[in-house]
Amino acid sequence: MSRLREDQQAQSLVAELTRNSYGKLLAVLAAPTRDIAAAEDALADAFERALSRWPDDGIPANPEGWLLTVARNRLRDLWKSSGYRMTESLDESDYASTSLDNDISAIPDRRLELMLVCAHPAIAPNIRTPLMLQSVLGVEAAAIATAFAVEPAAMAQRLVRAKKRIRDAGIPFVLPERDDLARRLPAVLEAVYGAYAIDWQLTPQGAPIESLSAEALHLALVLAELLPDDPEVLGLAALICLSEARRPARRTADGAFVPLDEQDPGRWDPALIARGEALLRRAHDRRTPGRFQYEAAIQSAHCARITQGTVDTDALRKLHRALLRVAPSLGAAVASAAIDGEIDGPEAGLRALDAIDDPAVDRFQPAIATRAHLLAEAGRPEEAAEAFRRAIELTADPCVAEYLFWRLR
């Protein structure tokens, strides 16, 4: 084999391992001391060494085990160095120097513990999603910063502080008892949902954000793998699958925004839809409905257009009402008003919009855009134009703004 070929092979394997094993390795490395930053450095070193060694030495029989061993030895060197502050004795069996040919076939999966740490009640809610993206998936701080519309240095700083806090406050990498787990899981789901939701608030134009929504899906699927019996975990994974499935149809070839009801279902991803539907069925089998299952069911009702040609708006309305009951939010209230407008006519939709009792509604872009559409449909062009103008002002995504502009004309 040529040197170039070996290089490429090592590179593609390292890329694959970064994609699929990063969080698992990091969780195992960080758990004993809770020092995520040190574990990240050690793991980055191990990946670097793999890139330089594997082309010459050949790819080891157990690449994950190789990376873990190299990273652990690296951490051990750090601990032995004088500056490191040790607060607890380490389990020797975990940290004994391991030779590279040792078969570490069963690396324990502690990603759930890591996710619980990231979404711990002692960690500020606004850093939980970034922390999870970085530590579970290895997403670069700069990409996270772009997605959250924050200066890269500021995001890096926040991440560093949060990791220091995890170490120094003593936030443990443990699986809580069943009741505690049930209490703490919503924060984990919320943080994963945060990675998905941010993608909808911001322009999905740049590459980092494009990948962030794929990362949200990845996080949700990891969580569904770790907690395969939790209906809301399955519901969240289903929700993101079904929504991601429509991504290819959301823009035309030249990047113009296409609203949901005008999308070509032929451009939706059938494999992702099937995966989402299967997850949703498994969630429903548990017979404990919840917010994410309702949201997933709403997505599923929209996706049904691929098989049935139409959307069952009455079913959709019931789902929106149920969602509003279990998880009231401004977004859900506006979506519910929009569907009222669709079924009962624009005036009914406008009445439902007017009935929303939340001061933020006047600055909420989806509410203004929905009002604009309903006013246009109701044959009130002047008021509609005014609402379209206001909606455009509030739109961050230039493609959506352009679409609204086109509607205005």
Partner 1 sequence: MRYCLLMHYQEGPDVGLTEEDMAPAMAAFQQYADDLSAAGVLIGTEVLESVVATTTVTAHTGTPEIQDGPFADTKEKLGGIFVIDVDNLDEALKWARRNPATGWGWIEIRPVARTYAADRGWYVP
Q: What is the binding site for partner 1 (CB under 8 A)?
A: 85-88, 120-122, 168-172, 174, 176
The least distance separating partner 1 from the CB of residue 94, rounded to whole angstroms, comes to 16
Determine which helix (DSSP H) or strand (DSSP E) holds 155, and give its type and residue range: helix 152-169
The least distance separating partner 1 from the CB of residue 170, rounded to whole angstroms, comes to 4
Structural contact between residues 39 and 95, judged by C-beta atoms closer than 8 angstroms = no
Pick the closer one to partner 1 by CB: 116 or 143: 116
Q: Which of 144, 147, 90, 117 is nearest to 27 (CA)?
A: 117
Pick the closer one to partner 1 by CB: 171 or 223: 171
The least distance separating partner 1 from the CB of residue 180, rounded to whole angstroms, comes to 8
The least distance separating partner 1 from the CB of residue 87, rounded to whole angstroms, comes to 6
The least distance separating partner 1 from the CB of residue 181, rounded to whole angstroms, comes to 12
Question: What's the token pair of residue 7?
Answer: 């290089």
Residue whose entry in the numeric block shows the structure tokens 């409905």: 289
Instruction: For residue 257, give the 3-state DSSP assignment.
Output: strand
The least distance separating partner 1 from the CB of residue 193, rounded to whole angstroms, comes to 24
The least distance separating partner 1 from the CB of residue 34, rounded to whole angstroms, comes to 8
Pick the closer one to partner 1 by CB: 176 or 345: 176
Pick the closer one to partner 1 by CB: 161 or 281: 161
Burial class (CB in 10 A: 0-12, 13-18, 19+), 101: exposed
Q: Which of 106, 123, 99 is nearest to 36 (CA)?
A: 123
Structural contact between residues 267 and 249, judged by C-beta atoms closer than 8 angstroms = yes
CA distance 220 to 276: 11
Question: What's the token pair of residue 111?
Answer: 């990603």
Pick the closer one to partner 1 by CB: 176 or 331: 176
Pick the closer one to partner 1 by CB: 121 or 266: 121
Pick the closer one to partner 1 by CB: 89 or 99: 89
236: left (phi over 0), alpha (psi -120 to 50) or beta: alpha
CA distance 317 to 301: 10
Question: What's the token pair of residue 102?
Answer: 């040792």
Q: Which of 124, 141, 109 is nearest to 40 (CA)?
A: 141
